[in-house]
Amino acid sequence: MAETRKRTTAQHPLVESAELQAVVRGSHENPFGVFGLHEVGGGLVIRTFQPGAVSVELVEAASGKVLTALERLDEAGFFAARVPRKKAPFAYRLLVDWGGGEPPREIEDPYRFGTVLGEMDVYLLAEGRHLRLFEQLGAHPAEMDGVPGTRFAVWAPNARRASVVGPFNNWDGRRHPMRKRIECGCFELFIPHLQKGELYKYELVGPQGEMLPLKADPVGFRAEHPPANASVVHGLVRHEWHDGDWLERRARAQSREAPISIYEVHLGSWMRVPEEGNRYLSYTELAERLVAYVKEMGFTHIELMPVSEYPFDGSWGYQPVGLFAPTIRHGTPEEFAGFVDACHAAGVGVLVDWVPGHFPTDAHGLANFDGTALYEHMDPRKGFHQDWNTAIYNYGRSEVANFLHANALFWLEKFHIDGIRVDAVASMLYLDYSRKAGEWEPNIHGGNENLEAIAFLKRLNELVYGEHPGATSIAEESTAWPAVSRPVYLGGLGFGFKWNMGWMHDTLHYMKEEPIHRRYHQHNLTFGLLYAFSENFVLPISHDEVVHGKGSLLGRMPGDRWQRFANLRAYLGFMWTHPGKKLVFMGAEFGQEREWNYEGSLDWHLLDDPLHKGAQLFVRDLNQLYRSTPALFELDCEPHGFEWIDAADTEQSVLSYLRKGTEPGSVVVVVCNFTPVVRQGYRIGVPAPGQWAEVLNSDAERYGGGGVGTGPEVTAEATPWHGRPHSIHLTLPPLATVAYALRP
């Protein structure tokens, strides 16, 4: 019996023919079942696949002794050998001779290392509840068994095979196939001595055995500069933060009761370096120039158009592929972290546009990732956006929702951003968004609400506010969906703020009218007050209003050149004194003449012109007034912070109103004259006697105006007007907004 067993062992092949052929074809689905050390027939066998190698020898790591030479079993590069009787497992290396006159080189065998993902990680990933999945998925420089290298993990549950490919293995997917963790649908592999900075992608074989396009890492932390699109081994950002003081006070700085004035920026076109080929500014340069500018202008926040890596410049970042990678266009993740730190040192908050509503169908991206509709909804009625030719996430799949939730938390935690502005919320909320009859399917209740997306958004906001106190979220939502900015526990979607798109459209429509016609359109300025306190609103003049033939903000204003600038200042004065937080897109603050062009810099040379310089100075002073005057911000979101004085003077196109703070006597009177006519002796009812000081006049000479006005202060008279016991007598400048505050 013993002799029979010995003979069987000796005759057992080093590898089954079918397995060898599967390795050579790249179709083997269990690489750890064939490569590395294995007990075969009572003995040890070592196998490896080294295409192009002349010879391979097995070396004991502890002693450096060559144990045996491996036999080439296939010309493609499959080597195997029996190992002299030795207890397994043990640490070993492979001595590979690549020929060409170079000496043989010792390498570590990836297939001698254990699993990458821990049991708890596997459990949470399978459940779709791993909020820190970015610590496990992706490419992380690490050590295993004392050996440096990079560990990889990717979610691709329906793929037959997944391999890490790159220049380090000649993009050959047969060289580094990954272990499949069936429990959670992830593939994993530790590649020894693979260093930070290496290019890589994933080569996937789909469920039908089809070879898929090479995929960038969905949880990659750095990417090649577009149009190249490989991922880059980097790991989580490492930055020594110095913003503890800011983080302690940011909850107050971002509350409903705080002054919030946001400067929206596209980093690629705010300013360029024309003398160096019109290149982008780096994050380091932006940390110096942009932060200093925003601080000087008095804005409280910068809002960045998407900075997640994206392939096409013309998408402005709104079609991202690398959700965990700051775009390399301006520098490394560490340099982006330095930019955020610099903002915080200057007392400026950082908001980032975040895009969970859709993603592009680029071959290297998430679409059809493992040969199936993995990230996108399978049903095109819910999974394809017809307007943008993009895929829509499957919010009802727990792993997909978890991927997005973890991504939002990633930016808040690893880059200390202060909030996310969620793009295109309306497209997520409605099943029939931009769809005709028959192109959408009602929910289980027969309605058009996307119940899965609603649940996703509510959970998102619970996580943002629960995991990162002091952070905020803002919805770009253009419909009358109720309670967008109310807490989830009160039945809302849970956002901190909502863009007031209706106010923006109505008021810009009004400003485009010739002043002689504005008397017929005053409702466009007043209608917004009917719902102004139903949400925590941000008044947005965003990038969407200065593209696609709409012209610049200044370009919308009627009249001759002087009147256009006067209209611009009057409108911004109205905006800054209106209830709601403020947002303007870069360039509006100095009256950019032309429409925004993402391929070039703003026209900073315009500041040599006194009218443009005056507009910039006016916005700076508006921010100073806004931030220093509680009546203009404390009750932005409360109806008792606003009161009309006269909204009905349509014949003269004049509006007047009160803004009030929480303290007695904290009150500001605002009057807007939207005609080019000086209004002499214009009487306004005021709530208190005493001296009323002029705190704002958009027609001041320093701004390029005519210098018309009542004077530095005016005394209230005991003349009842507008239902109030006192009134003030004003001279209203043409096309101007003026404001008066009660002296203590």
CA–CA dist 632, 258 (Å, integer): 10
Q: Does residue 204 contact residue 155 with C-beta atoms inside 8 Å?
A: no
Other CB atoms within a 10 A radius of the CB of residue 253 amount to 18
Structure tokens at 449: 């609400």
DSSP string across 265-278:
E-TTTS-EEGGGTT
Q: Does residue 92 contact residue 56 with C-beta atoms inside 8 Å?
A: no
Closest CA to 260 of 551, 496, 101, 2: 496
CA–CA dist 356, 108 (Å, integer): 40
CA–CA dist 393, 397 (Å, integer): 9
| Helix or strand run (H / E) with residue 90 | none
Residue position matching structure tokens 């006194």: 610
Measured CA distances, 63 to 37, 83, 114, 438, 580 (Å): 18, 16, 22, 72, 73
Strand order in the sheet with 78-83: 36-40, 43-49, 78-83, 71-74
Q: What's the half-sphere exposure (Cβ side, CA atoms, 13 Å) at 369?
A: 25
Closest CA to 107 of 59, 151, 55: 59
List 278's β-bridge partners, or say none.
none
Closest CA to 479 of 545, 541, 542, 428: 428
> Does residue 423 have an active-site annotation?
yes
CA–CA dist 210, 318 (Å, integer): 30
Measured CA distances, 81 to 34, 41, 253 (Å): 13, 13, 68
| Max CA distance (Å), the chain | 122
Measured CA distances, 390 to 206, 358, 387, 547, 622 (Å): 21, 6, 8, 21, 40
Helices (H), 281-417: 283-297, 333-345, 380-383, 398-414
Q: Does residue 199 contact residue 222 with C-beta atoms inside 8 Å?
A: no
Strands (E) in 308-386, as ranges, are 308-309, 322-326, 349-354, 384-385
Q: Does residue 240 contact residue 334 with C-beta atoms inside 8 Å?
A: no
CA–CA dist 482, 576 (Å, integer): 25
- Among the listed residues 198, 423, 477, 589, the single catalytic one is 423
| Helix or strand run (H / E) with residue 6 | helix 2-11
Residues near 605 by Cβ (< 8 Å), separated by ≥ 6?
none
DSSP string across 496-544:
SEEE-HHHHHHHHHHHHS-GGGGGG-THHHHGGGGTTTSS-EEEEE-GG
- Among the listed residues 476, 477, 589, 621, the single catalytic one is 476
> Does residue 476 have an active-site annotation?
yes
Measured CA distances, 571 to 57, 152, 481, 591, 637 (Å): 78, 54, 27, 12, 21
Pairing of strands 43-49, 537-541: unpaired
Structure tokens at 267: 């980093």
Give me the phi and psi of 648, to 5 degrees please: -110, 10
CA–CA dist 265, 706 (Å, integer): 32
Closest CA to 727 of 714, 736, 737: 714
Residue type, 111: Y
Catalytic residues: 423, 476
